[in-house]
Amino acid sequence: MAAILRLNVGMKSIGEVAARFGVPAHVLRHWEAEGLLTPARAGNRRRYTDTDEHRVAAILVSKEAGLGLADIRAVLAAGSAPAREELLAAHRRRLEARLARTQAALDLLAGGPCPHDDIMTCPHFRGLLAERLPSDA
């Protein structure tokens, strides 16, 4: 029994870690199933170390940056800084493309109320269309 107590010193339960990060416990179990976390076991109970908590924080930060679980797993498992940078650069390019699409949507809406009954006669709208029309090359 003493060995089990020593094993658990400084370790937290799944409920404690989930509460600390404001996520349901099933999310931590899912991340474990996805290969993102590998908490220790005391019998059939998961026990989380400070290192595990840093990994949870890294996962949450990565999710906020728009990375999916597969991408997060790849970034955390990258064997070198250049490999990790390549993965992050690819994600950055995807984000920039999404940002450009979002900016185009905002530009469309920024025209404000159009006084034209037929939107196709609105100069602002036609200007946005002109950017999308294929050129006669």
Q: For residue 129, give Cα distances in angstroms to 35, 52, 97, 98, 108.
A: 46, 51, 19, 19, 10
Q: Which residues have CB under 8 Å from 82's CB, separation 6+?
A: none
* % pLDDT > 90, the chain: 66
Greater confidence, 47 or 10? 47
Q: Which residues have CB under 8 Å from 18's CB, separation 6+?
A: 24, 25, 27, 28
Note whether 59 and 31 are within 8 A (CB): yes
The model scores a pTM over 0.85: no
* % pLDDT > 70, the chain: 91
pLDDT digits (tens, 9 = 90+) for 60-98: 999 999 999 999 999 999 999 999 999 999 999 999 999
